[in-house]
Amino acid sequence: MTRSAARASRDAPHVLIVGGGGTGGALAHDLTLRGIRITLVERGEFTSGTTGRHHGLLHSGARYAVNDRESAIECIEENAILRSICPGSFEENDGLFVAITDEDMAYYDDFVEGCKACGIPIEELTPEEALRMEPLLNPELKAAVRVPDATMDAMRMPLRFFATAKHRGATLYNFMEVLDLVVDGGAVTGATVRDLVTGSEGDLHADLVVNATGPWSEKIARMAKVDVPISPSPGVMLALRGRLCNMVINRMHRSGDGDIVVPQRGLSVVGTSSWT
């Protein structure tokens, strides 16, 4: 069967995805490629949850290369996949990790070694080379490393997944809220939903129900008496009008407060999604 012939037949297994963020959209795209029948419900606009509000950084994995190599490897692999399947969705601007203090330099060797071990292509730069690329860097910088970070539009990129899933026959509902899960003999077999536009309610049934509700996963799982503990972590991001830089600028040290600037179209987003 060719990829274009993989449109789901009426007898194909049916999956109900709850949540229309990046996870739900990408899953709908992937499963329709495999000939699975998809229904997806989202209680707001698509990408209106965490996905539409994130930093917009396509991670190279370098940020995790010292502390969490498993995530770093996953990031660089996904980075390459997303660039190839979503061309045009990214500003391919690369990133710099910049060492300013002696403390940053103490992290440098571990950082370079970690990136190499994780297969993240890097280029070690002199301060002069880095300043030529980004003239507003602190002129006292001691060293910089170029990494394949990129910037994405947090809403437009995932909308491509919804579009291709719909093109392949997925049924996508926005403004449709899951009120409860239908549980039969210990298995989740569907969901009770409310159409937030008309107010009508009903049950949707499926062979499999996927909880793709991000930070709301705990609440949805509880409907099936399943415990999925979610732990919030603190972080602050500030969107400033105008671009301070064209590349993604990271401080060369362990994740902390305010250690990254992501240029996002006409804005500069400064901050850290989590400093813990």
Ligand X SMILES: Cc1cc2nc3c(=O)[nH]c(=O)nc-3n(C[C@H](O)[C@H](O)[C@H](O)COP(=O)(O)OP(=O)(O)OC[C@H]3O[C@@H](n4cnc5c(N)ncnc54)[C@H](O)[C@@H]3O)c2cc1C
Kindly list the residues in this chain that would bind ligand X in the complex (CB under 6 A): 18-24, 41-44, 48-51, 54-57, 59, 177-178, 212-216, 220, 235, 237, 273
Q: Which is nearer to ligand X, 142 or 194 (CB)?
A: 194
In angstroms, the CA 229 to CA 215 distance is 10
Query: In the complex, what is the shortest distance from the CB of residue 8 to ligand X, in angstroms, rounded to a whole number?
Result: 22
Around 250, how many Cα atoms within 13 Å sit in the side-chain half-sphere? 28
Q: Which is nearer to ligand X, 141 or 181 (CB)?
A: 181
Query: In the complex, what is the shortest distance from the CB of residue 274 to ligand X, in angstroms, rounded to a whole number?
Result: 7
Query: In the complex, what is the shortest distance from the CB of residue 92 to ligand X, in angstroms, rounded to a whole number?
Result: 15
Residues in a beta bridge with 201: 194
Residues in Cβ contact with 77 at an 8 Å cutoff, skipping those fewer than 6 apart:
none
Query: In the complex, what is the shortest distance from the CB of residue 272 to ligand X, in angstroms, rounded to a whole number?
Result: 8
Q: Which is nearer to ligand X, 141 or 188 (CB)?
A: 188
CB 151, CB 57: distance < 8 Å: yes
Question: What does each C-alpha distance from 184 to 11, 194, 201, 212, 238 come to in angstroms?
Answer: 21, 20, 19, 21, 46
Query: In the complex, what is the shortest distance from the CB of residue 178 to ligand X, in angstroms, rounded to a whole number?
Result: 4
Query: In the complex, what is the shortest distance from the CB of residue 18 to ligand X, in angstroms, rounded to a whole number?
Result: 5
Q: Which is nearer to ligand X, 18 or 144 (CB)?
A: 18
Query: In the complex, what is the shortest distance from the CB of residue 61 to ligand X, in angstroms, rounded to a whole number?
Result: 11
Q: Which is nearer to ligand X, 2 or 233 (CB)?
A: 233
Query: In the complex, what is the shortest distance from the CB of residue 91 to ligand X, in angstroms, rounded to a whole number?
Result: 13
CB 18, CB 220: distance < 8 Å: yes
Residue the block writes with tokens 């401080």: 251
CB 177, CB 197: distance < 8 Å: no
Record the tokens describing residue 261, joined without a space.
Answer: 């600037």
161 by DSSP, 3-state: which? Answer: helix
| Per-residue b or e along 118-132, where b marks 16 or more CB atoms closer than 10 Å to that residue's CB | bebebeebebeebbe
Residue type present at position 31: L
Question: What does each C-alpha distance from 73 to 90, 99, 191 come to in angstroms?
Answer: 20, 23, 36
